[in-house]
Amino acid sequence: MNGSTSSVFISRIRGLPILDDAGDTIGKLRDVVISERTLSRPPRVKGLVVELFARHRIFIPIARVRNVDAVQIVTTGVVNTRRFARRESETLVVEDLFDQQVSQPSTNGPWVIFDVAMRQIRTSDWEISEVALREATRTGRFGRPFTRRGQVMIVEWSDIAAMLGSYGQAIEQLLAEMEDMKPADVARELHDLTPARRSEVASALDDQKLADALEELPEDEQVQLIQALDVERAASVLEEMDADDAADLINELPDEMAERLLGEMEPEDADDLRRLLTYEEFTAGGMMTPEPVIVPPDATVADALALVRQEELSPALAAMIFVCRPPLETPTGRFLGGVHFQRLLREPPSTLVSAVVDSELEPLTDRADLHDVSRYFATYNLVNAPVVDKENRLIGAVTVDDVLDHVLPADWRGDQLDAMSDAEEVD
């Protein structure tokens, strides 16, 4: 669909050929796998059930689907030919929902589901959007409702979710409250739950909210939660985390699981994590994020300010812009220097960023230890520092919160969450 927000009815694409990157046919679409979230949020599409030519059915994650149109579905990446086996938490749209009977309070008599639509809400992320209902007029001898062809109604998923959903009211209420919470508050709520309930709630959160909350949890709870998710979902959550935090979490997992997760992630994200994992934890290379704000020498102040306006940037990462020779992806070309965000605000928009580089700022080396990194931040009064390799290429940036994570005691997050809960009880 190439990013369109239009809905795709599954009966119209069922049976379409599935093509790989080379244009070769893999098989045919037989069903769509979804997982429930909450009654107020449509189910998330996890992937496709594809039938190979020998009636062997496999699973293709929705993240691997590149395009859906009226004649074919195009996928990318390596196909896992392991036979598809449905997990307990999964629902098959065609097998489980088609022909299921529901009631509509505003109408007389029952209706049956004869089609379900999904829509792409962002890259590699789909959800169920609408349900097509047909009026059931009477019941046949096998208990199957007959329908009149003309009586059709399209409704939003939310209109019938209460009749199909399986979540308890307590979890539903907690998830609704989490919608407007900050990551630290979501983490506190998860921290206070039993491990089983924590996993249940985490599975219903969207990837970004769960990723943000994971970064605020103690390491042992991060590990427990990520291990409770299926591999495809866990990989998606790791992709949404800051790379340095995701690398720290990967480092705590068993080697076999860590490798499976890296293999499931998008290659670019996995490559960043593999690079971070080559460094010792308490070095600049082990603490850095590989995605600082980088501009070429001919960029203007206006160009740089446009980059730091991006909502997904943390205040610490937005505090400094780095000027490098191409390529601009880490590891970059030669590192030329950094420019403080505050300095950009004092310059005309047409000024070249390279003309206002802080020439006195020496970068950190990737092997600098925690002691050297801490002294560096104290000396320069920074919240964001460049990290270069021995060839003077920018490979990332360390932020002050990364330093604090490593200076504070290992269990400080758990202590902090306990203190927040205690304070709330007193209030």
pLDDT at 38 over 70: no
Task: Please choose, from the candidates 309, 317, 296, the residue with its C-alpha nearest in 3D space to the C-alpha of residue 387.
Answer: 317
DSSP, res 283:
B
pLDDT tens digits for 200-242? 888 889 899 999 999 999 888 999 999 999 899 999 999 999 9
**What's the average model confidence in pLDDT over 367-372?**
95
Beta partners for 132? 115, 154
Read out DSSP for 296-313?
Answer: -TT-BHHHHHHHHT-TTS
pLDDT at 392 over 90: yes
By the 8 A CB rule, do 204 and 167 touch?
yes
**What's the average model confidence in pLDDT over 137-159?**
65
Read out DSSP for 73-119?
Answer: EEE-S----SBP---TTEEEIIIIITT-EEE-TTSSSEEEEEEEEEE
Q: How far apart are CA 248 and CA 264, in angstroms?
A: 18
Task: Please choose, from the candidates 35, 58, 276, the residue with its C-alpha nearest in 3D space to the C-alpha of residue 165.
Answer: 35
Residue 44, SS3?
A: strand
pLDDT at 340: 94
pLDDT at 167 over 50: no
By the 8 A CB rule, do 51 and 95 touch?
no
Q: How far apart are CA 118 and CA 412, in angstroms?
A: 43
pLDDT band at 407 (very low <50, low <70, confident <90, very high): confident
pLDDT at 388 over 70: yes
pLDDT tens digits for 44-88? 899 999 999 777 999 999 988 989 998 999 998 888 888 998 876
Task: Please choose, from the candidates 84, 25, 75, 79, the residue with its C-alpha nearest in 3D space to the C-alpha of residue 49.
Answer: 84
Delineate the domains of the chain, giving CATH numbers in brackets. 7-92 (2.30.30.240), 96-164 (no CATH), 169-278 (1.25.60.10), 293-407 (3.10.580.10)
By the 8 A CB rule, do 368 and 361 touch?
no
Q: How far apart are CA 64 and CA 328, in angstroms?
A: 26
190 CB-near residues (< 8 Å, 6+ apart):
198, 201, 202, 213, 217, 221, 225
Q: How far apart are CA 199 and CA 300, in angstroms?
A: 47
By the 8 A CB rule, do 117 and 131 touch?
yes
pLDDT at 201: 86
pLDDT at 341 over 90: yes
- Structure tokens that stand for 130 in this block: 């609408």
Task: Please choose, from the candidates 399, 247, 376, the residue with its C-alpha nearest in 3D space to the C-alpha of residue 319.
Answer: 399
Which single residue is written with the structure tokens 């689907």? Answer: 65
By the 8 A CB rule, do 262 and 232 touch?
no
Q: Highest mean pLDDT range out of 130-134, 136-140, 310-314?
A: 130-134
- Structure tokens that stand for 413 in this block: 């997050």
**What's the average model confidence in pLDDT over 388-404?**
94
Helix pair 169-178, 195-204: axis angle to 10 deg: 60
Tell me the pTM.
0.61
pLDDT at 173 over 80: no
pLDDT at 410: 62
pLDDT at 412: 58
Element spanning 259, H or E: helix 255-264
pLDDT at 324: 97
pLDDT tens digits for 177-196? 788 889 988 998 888 777 77
pLDDT at 2: 43
DSSP, res 383:
S
Q: How far apart are CA 232 and CA 183, in angstroms?
A: 22
pLDDT at 386: 97
Please give the distance of CA 96 from its chain centroid, rounded to a whole number: 27
Q: How far apart are CA 187 and CA 414, in angstroms?
A: 10
Please give the distance of CA 185 from its chain centroid, rounded to a whole number: 19
Average pLDDT, the chain: 85
pLDDT tens digits for 247-304? 999 999 999 999 999 999 999 999 999 999 999 989 999 999 999 999 999 999 999 9
pLDDT tens digits for 46-57? 999 999 977 799
Please give the distance of CA 93 from its chain centroid, rounded to a whole number: 23
By the 8 A CB rule, do 251 and 281 touch?
yes
